[in-house]
Amino acid sequence: MKKFNYFLVFVVLVFSMQARSIAGEKTVDDIKKAFDKAMEYVEKGNYVKASKEVEWAKKDIDKLHTQRLLTYLKDELAGFKGKPVKSTAVLGMVAVERDYKKGSTTVKVSITTAGAGLGAFSQMAAMAQRGNPNAESFRVGDHTGIIEAQRGRTAMTVFLEAGPFLKLEMRGASDKKILHDMLGEMSIDKLNKYLKGDA
């Protein structure tokens, strides 16, 4: 019976990976079609419909962008098991998050990308938090990190280049080492490179 259960789990995982691959390919095809239609409308001078096609393409590109961000939230970090991932996209800002649980402790890990003006806001937030008596700053490679503990929660924020930031929020415990261990298992440099457009 156990062998059958393992086989069933394996089949589900393979099917899930194939389904995601097919969905990604379909989205890329939809983007290509939208741009082709947009160019046809531009050549005809129908800029209203051309703009609508570009908007559809932008929505599909945002979907692919979100899917890429989700790959940086691993299924397990420092012994904490990941729950289902969540994502939101508003005004050009994309946020993905995942809860990780171990015993009675939960850590929410989120990645928020830059929308209009978010880069400047992030820098101001970093400066403000440095002056917080409950916060301490640290370095993660070339990036600035801030960790603070208050009111039953411990939060760590890492400010990436060009505005995006990574945040880890712990409830049910106040062990800063756990957050540092989880952060150490994340590909911060790869994430930063992707968000800068260098990947």
**pTM for the full predicted model:** 0.72
Of the CA atoms within 13 Å of residue 155, those in its CB half-sphere come to 13
State how far Cα 189 lies from the chain centre.
14
- 164 and 89 share a domain? yes
Q: CA-CA distance, 27 to 67, in Å (whole number)?
A: 11
Range of the domain at 17: 2-68
- 24 and 119 share a domain? no
pLDDT at position 149 is: 82
Domain end point (choices 68, 89, 108): 68
CA angle 147, 148, 149 (to 5 degrees): 135
Structure tokens at 36: 């082709």
pLDDT at position 81 is: 96
Q: Is the dihedral of CA 157, 158, 160, 165 positive or negative?
A: negative
pLDDT at position 109 is: 96
Going residue by residue through the chain, which has 199 residues, state the pLDDT in tens, using 9 for 90 and above.
444 344 333 333 333 334 344 346 778 898 899 899 999 999 999 999 999 999 999 889 888 988 999 999 999 999 999 999 998 877 778 899 999 999 989 999 999 987 645 555 555 555 555 556 678 889 888 888 999 887 778 999 999 887 889 999 998 778 889 999 999 999 999 999 898 888 6
- 41 and 128 share a domain? no
- 46 and 89 share a domain? no
CA angle 119, 121, 125 (to 5 degrees): 120
Q: Residues in the chain, how many?
A: 199
- 26 and 91 share a domain? no
DSSP classification of residue 151:
T
- 11 and 61 share a domain? yes
pLDDT at position 182 is: 95
Instruction: Please state the domain count of the chain.
Output: 2
